[in-house]
A and B are shown apart, each in its own frame.
Chain A
Amino acid sequence: MDFSQKVVKAKEIITEAAGKWPHDKIIIAWTGGKDSTVVLDLVRQVFNNKVPFRVMFNDSTLEFNEVYEFIRKLAKQWDLDLLWVKHLPEDLEAYRQTKDKREQMEIMRIAKINAINYVLDKYKIEAFISGIRWDEHEARSHETYFSPRSTHTRVHPILHFTLDDIWRYIKDFDVPYVSLYDKGYKSLGEAPFTSPVDDPDAPERAGREATKEKVMARLRKLGYW
C-alpha cells in the first residue's frame, strides 16, 4: 500500500464509522500530538473541512504549555466541538498524595482511562476514534480498525500509517503541529514523564518514561488484546 492508498484507506474507515453510528455518538480523542491531529485533519478532508463529531482533549493537567496553546489555537481555527476533560479530581488528588514515581505513573495511566470512560458514559458514546498506529508500539501491533470494547467500539483510522507516513502527511497537507517536535521531542506524554531525545535514530517513544513502556509491552506480550 503506497502513501496515497493509505490515506484513502484511513478516509474509508472514517466514512464507515460515520455511516455506522450517529454522529453525536462518535468522539475523537485528540491529545494535541501529531497522530491524533492527523486523524482530525483526515476527518476534515472527508467532511469538507469540518469535524462533525465531538472532540475530546484528555487533560492530565501535566501537559506541556505548548500543547495547551496548540489545542486552544487549533480548536478555534478548525471550529472544533471540543470537550476539554480534566482528569477526575479523585485521581488528581491521589497523584498529589504520592511522591513515588512508579505509583504516580500508574495513577496517571489509570486517570487517563477513567476520564475517557467518564466521557463515554456521560455522552453514551458508541464509537471512539483514536490515532494509534501499528508501528508505534509493539503493544499496538495486533490492533484492528474496529475494536469492540465493554461499552463501545474503538475506531483506529491510521493504524497502518508509519511514523514517516505521519510526517509526510503533515508536510503534504500542511497540518499544524506542536513546536516541541522541532525541539527533539519524538512523542508527547505528560510533561514530568517526557523528555527530548538527542539521537535522531532513537525509537519514536524513546523520550517516554520507561516504566510505562515496559508495562505496555508486558501486557501485550501476555496477549489479552
Chain B
Amino acid sequence: MNSKHTFLFILDAVRKDHVGLYGYKRKTTPNIDKLAKKADVYNWAFAPAPYTLASVPSILAGKYPIELSNSFTGGEFDRHDFETLKELRKQGYTTAMFTANIVTSSYKTNLNQFFDYFWDNLTEKELNRPVWLYQKAEVVLAAVEAFVEKHKSKKFFVVVHLMEAHGPYVPKIESIFKGDAIYKKDKRLIDRLVPTTLRGVTQATLAKYKIMPRYQALMYGDDYERNVREYVAKYDMGIYLLDKSVGKFLTFLQKNKLYEPSQIIITSDHGELLGEENIFFAHGVWTHPVLTSVPLIIKFPYQTKKIIRKANYSLIYVIPKLLEKEVDQGLVASFYPRSISVIIKNKYYMFHNGSFGENDGSDFWPLEWQGFARVISNISQIKIKPLTKVFCKHNLVFRNINDNQTNELFAFVLNLEKQMFQQVVKKLNKPKRSERLAIKMFISSLLAENQIKRIWMFIKYKLGSYKIFDR
C-alpha cells in the first residue's frame, strides 16, 4: 500500500553500532528499537559521504556527492540537483524539511529553495564554536508537529535533521550512562588536543597519540576532560535524547492516527570516530567504515513484520525507492546507484583512501577548502576514465577473501590513489600546498564510483577467477 505521509529522520553522526537494535549494550534507542520490530532493518546501509555537507544533499538528491552541481563544496545547488524532490511534488507530496544543523540550513545552503516548506530556526550556540548554530530536537519536532497538524489533509514528505549526537555531545546534560559497566571499564585517556582543522596531524602522530579535535573538548580553563568514557557516555546520551524525541513524535502520530499509514525512515548522515585509528570524536576526515556504515530502518505503511535486509544499500536509494513505489517503475536518480563493500567473516571493509604522503607517506588529510574551486575546475579537464555502466549493474560483494588478499587489495587501492594524485598534480603544474590538499580531498570524495572501479580492476588484474556475487 502506498504511504500517505513519509518522514525521513536523519540523526546526525549516529553510528550504527551505538544503536540498540544493532546490538549495542547500552539501551540508547528503546523507541527506535520498538519501531524496528515491525519494519525493514538494513544491516549494511551506507552513507554517501562521511560528513554532512556532502552526505545530506546527496541523500536528498539520490545522487553521489560528485554528481551534484556544487561538487559538495557547500556552494549553491542548481535546479537540476534535486530531481527527486521535483518528482515527489509531481506525485502529490508537499515537501518539507526541518533542520537543526546549520550545514543543511538556509544559513549555509540554498536547500530551502527546493522544498515547499523549510524550517531552520537555529538559536543554540555550539559550545566551542558559537557561530555554529543548531537547534534542540524537542524544538524542531514541536515545529514538525505544528506543521503536521496544519497540513494533515495533504500528503507530505518531511525530512527531519537532528543534532544531539553531533559533538560536542550534549555538553550541558549529564549522561544517564555515566557510571555503568561500559563506563567503568573504559580507562582510556585522550593524549592530545589537535586543531579543529586537524592541521598538523600525521600518521606518525596517530601512531603515538590518541587525539581529539579541540571543538569537541569539554574545557576546564586551561585544561580539558581527557577521559574517553565521559565523551562516549555523552555521545550515547545524545543518541538517547534523539530516540526520546523521535519516540515522543511517534506517539504524536499514533494519537493522530497517522502512524500506521505513514512511511517512517530513520537513518544517519554519517558516523563518528570513537577511537578508530586513534582519532576520537571526529568525522569527515576520510571514509572509514564506521563513518559510512549507518543505521537504516524503514517502516512501511501498515507493516506487521520485521524484515532484516542484509544486502548493501546506499542511502541515495531511499527517495528513489519511495518514488519507485509510487510510480511503479524503476526510477533511479543516480547514474551510479549501487553501493559497494567487502565482507570478510561478517566484518565490513570499505575501500577508503587510507593515506598517502606527498613525499614521505606521513601526511594526513586535513580538511582544506582553500583553492578548491580552481582544483575542481582543473580536475574536470583531466581524463580520469568515467565508470562504464556495465560496472554499475553489479552490486559487488566479495565473501571469504583471506587476509593476504585483503592486504593486497588495500595496497592496490592506495597505489591507485597515489597515481591519481600525481596525475592531477602534474596537470596543475606546481599547485600550492592548499591546492594539493584540496586535490586529496577531492580524490577522497570520489567515493563510490571509484570504489567500484578499484574493486573491478582488482578483480580483473589481481584476483582473476574470484567469484562475484551479483545482487
Contact = CB atoms under 8 A, between A and B. Distances in A.
B193 A149 contact: no
B285 interface: no
Interface stretch (A40-48, A62-70, A90-98, A163-171): A90-98
B221 A132 contact: yes
Contacts of B451: none
Contacts of A154: 220, 223
A49 interface: no
Contact of B227 (A109, A116, A143, A150): A150
Interface stretch (B45-53, B198-206, B315-323, B378-386): B198-206
Contact of A106 (B189, B205, B214): B214
Given A151-B189, A222-B127, A143 B197 contact: no
A223 to B, nearest CB: 8
A114 B193 CA distance: 7
Contacts of A97: 199-200
A103 B199 contact: yes
B224 interface: yes
B226 interface: yes
B305 interface: no
Contacts of B127: 219, 222, 224
Interface in B201-232: 201-202, 205, 214, 218-227
B202 A90 contact: yes
B222 A88 contact: no
A116 B171 contact: no
A110 B199 contact: no
B327 interface: no
A94 B200 contact: yes
A61 interface: no
A154 to B, nearest CB: 7
Contacts of A143: 221
B226 A151 contact: yes
B191 A117 contact: yes
B200 A147 contact: no
B110 interface: no
B195 A110 contact: yes
Contacts of A139: 221
Interface residues of B, number: 29
B177 to A, nearest CB: 18
Contacts of A9: none
Nearest to A106: B195
Contacts of A149: 220, 223, 226
B214 A93 contact: no
B221 A150 contact: no
A107 B199 contact: yes
B219 A224 contact: yes
A91 B127 CA distance: 23
B222 A112 contact: yes
Given A107-B195, A110-B193, A225 B200 contact: no
Contact of A219 (B128, B191, B199): B128
Interface string B25-67: 0000000000000000000000000000000000000000000
Interface string B108-133: 00000000000000000001101000
Contacts of A23: none
B223 A113 contact: yes
B192 A224 contact: no
A90 B224 contact: no
B194 interface: yes
A205 to B, nearest CB: 13
Interface string A212-225: 00011011101111
A90 B200 contact: yes
A14 B77 CA distance: 62
Nearest to A223: B172
A93 B223 contact: no
A56 to B, nearest CB: 13
A30 to B, nearest CB: 14
Contacts of A216: 221
20 contacts: A90-B200, A103-B197, A106-B196, A107-B195, A107-B200, A109-B214, A110-B192, A114-B192, A116-B222, A116-B223, A117-B191, A149-B220, A150-B224, A150-B226, A215-B128, A222-B172, A224-B127, A224-B218, A224-B219, A225-B219
Interface of A: 88, 90-91, 93-95, 97-98, 103, 106-107, 109-110, 112-114, 116-117, 121, 132, 139-140, 143, 147, 149-151, 154, 215-216, 218-220, 222-225
Interface of B: 127-128, 130, 171-172, 189, 191-197, 199-202, 205, 214, 218-227
